[in-house]
Structure formats: structure tokens, C-alpha cells
Amino acid sequence: MELCYLDAVKPVRLSLHLIVKRHLPPEAKDWSHEEILEALQKVTHIRLDRENISEIDGLELLEKKVTNLYLQHNQIKCIENLECLTNLRFLTLSGNQIEVVEGLKHLQHLFFLDLSLNLIKDFDIDEFPQSLIILNLKGNPCTSHPDHRGRIIQDLPKLKQLDEVEVTSEEKLEAGFKTEEDEDDDEEDEEEDKPEDKKEKAGSKNIEQLTNSTLVRSQNRVELDLREHLKHSQELDLIREKYNIPSSRTNRTPRTEKAQK
């Protein structure tokens, strides 16, 4: 029993084999290689939390389908090999051993990033995707920087929440972005514009409103996913504590059914 437990906590590389164990049913071990690949192509949410993963790899075959990736509470030290997930929107790497923010700027659809409880002392702001709406760096040494919030907010224009605290209109103003009051003043100026200018500005404003509405809906979906995930994780933790069951790499979260022939 003790040897099995030691093997369970041994650091491992994120691999296709591990993804199959967590996201396909037990009978997948008897499937052909083609059947496994076909089933994995339907997976959109990859949940590999608490698997003692030390290296990120083996995601190439998932490519465009995956939108959510959960890698919290592992032993990851380097953010790498995510460039294949071009449609990734939700990424949590909380509770790892990450020191450097890297390998993220190419994820242009990412709007939720959780890097809390890591070892990040400083960062290059250009490594964060401009698409971010929610960013969490709580529990990292970098948050003690005197202008921690200001330097992030001024370079991430779409950011609405930082370290679990909403970005205020005052912070936006200090960062050089327009507030709602400024937008109201612009509307008054439009009354003196030529008819054709008014039409052009009205069209731009409608696009902006539609974009903002889309971002808000996206944020709501992200927060709902996060709440559901936290609830699921807490339930698992309670069960493990109640029955004294250690976290194991063999735990499965069936997400995909075998493809119908």
C-alpha cells in the first residue's frame, strides 16, 4: 500500500495517456488508436488538477476543440507547449511552482487566467494576452509591488477583475482609459457634428456596445464555470478526507462517450 501511494505522488509529465485516463471511460483501453483519437477530438474541458504533473506536454492532438484547461495544484514549474490550443479561453494554473510568466501571449482568445499561489516575483506585462478579462495573481510575491494593480490595468484594456477584485472606474481613469462620464461628454459633442459624422460615430458606438456586452456575457460564463469547478473540487476533497483516500493519478472524470459507429 505504501509503495502504491509513493508511486501516485511521483511527478509526471502531462501526456496523452494521462488525458485518456481522466477523460475517457475505462473500456477505452480496448479501443483502437483511431477510436481514442476520435473521442478525444470531442473533449473541450481538460481537467487534470491534483495529478502531480511537473511538465506540460501531449496536447497537440487536441488543438482547436479545447477551450478550458484546469491544471491547478500540480508541480508545474514552466508554462509551455500551449501554443497548439488556439481557442483556449479558460486556464487555471493555481497552486503550482511557476516563477516566470511565459508561453501565454499567443493565446489571443484567453479571457480567464488564474496564476494564484505560485512563486512569481516579477513579470513582463507583454507576456499576458491582451484579451484577458479576469486575471488572478494572488499569493505571488509580485503582488507586493507598490504599483502592482496600476501597471497591469494600464496594459490590459479589457481587464475587469484583478486578483479577485473588480477593476474600478477610478483605476481605469488613472490608467488613461475613458470612463462612462467621458463617454457621456463625447455624446454631447456629437450633437454638433455633421450628419455623416454622426452616422459613423453611431455605428462605432454600436459595435463597442455589442463588444462590451459580449465580454460581459463571456465573463459570466467563465465565473459560472469556475464556481462549478470549485464546487466539484470541494466535493472530491470532502470525500477523500472522509474516507482517508489519497489523491491518485488513476482518478477519472469521464467526459466523452465512445464515438457511435
Residue 4 has what pLDDT? Answer: 45
Q: How many CB atoms lie within 10 A of CB 169?
A: 14
Report which DSSP code applies to 105. Answer: T
Q: Is the pLDDT of residue 155 over 50?
A: yes
Is the Cβ–Cβ distance between 167 and 179 less than 8 Å?
A: no
Residues contacting 151, CB < 8 A, separation 6+: 125, 145
112 has pLDDT over 80: yes
196-206 per-position pLDDT tens digit: 555 555 554 55
Asked if residues 89 and 109 have their Cβ atoms less than 8 Å apart, the reply is yes
The three-state secondary structure class of 91 is strand
Pairing of strands 45-47, 68-70: parallel
Residue 39 in this model has a pLDDT that exceeds 70: yes
17 touches 9 (CB < 8 A): no
CATH number of 2-243: 3.80.10.10
Please write the tens of the pLDDT for every residue from 175-214.
Answer: 777 655 555 555 555 555 555 555 555 554 554 555 555 5
pLDDT at 175 (0 to 100) = 77
**Do the Cβ atoms of 91 and 107 come closer than 8 Å?**
yes
Residue 119: CB atoms within 10 Å: 14
Lowest model confidence (mean pLDDT) among 61-70, 111-120, 134-143, 150-159: 61-70
Residue 218's H or E segment, with its range, is helix 195-243
CB 46 within 8 A of CB 19: yes
List C-alpha distances in Å: 60 to 16, 40, 86, 248.
9, 11, 11, 25
**What are the distances in angstroms from CA 89 to CA 77, 85, 119?**
21, 9, 23
The whole-number average pLDDT for the span 136-164 is 94
pLDDT, averaged across the chain: 78
43/212: higher pLDDT = 43
Judge whether 99 and 121 are in contact, CB under 8 Å. yes
Q: What is the dihedral of CA 20, 24, 30, 34, to 10 degrees?
A: -70
What is the distance between the alpha carbons of residues 165 and 136, in angstroms, rounded to a whole number?
A: 9
At 232 the pLDDT is 54
Cα 100 from Cα 258, distance rounded (Å): 39
At residue 83, the pLDDT reads: 92
Task: Average the pLDDT over 55-77 and give the result.
Answer: 91
Q: How far is CA 157 from the centre of its chain?
A: 18
Amino acid at 126: D
Task: State how far the Cα of 76 lies from the Cα of 135, in Å rounded to an integer.
Answer: 19
* Cα distance between residue 74 and residue 93, in whole Å: 8
Cell numbers for 160: 475587469
Give me the mean pLDDT over the 154-164 stretch: 95
Is the predicted pLDDT of residue 249 greater than 50, yes or no?
no
| Poorest-pLDDT segment among 64-68, 159-163, 247-251 | 247-251
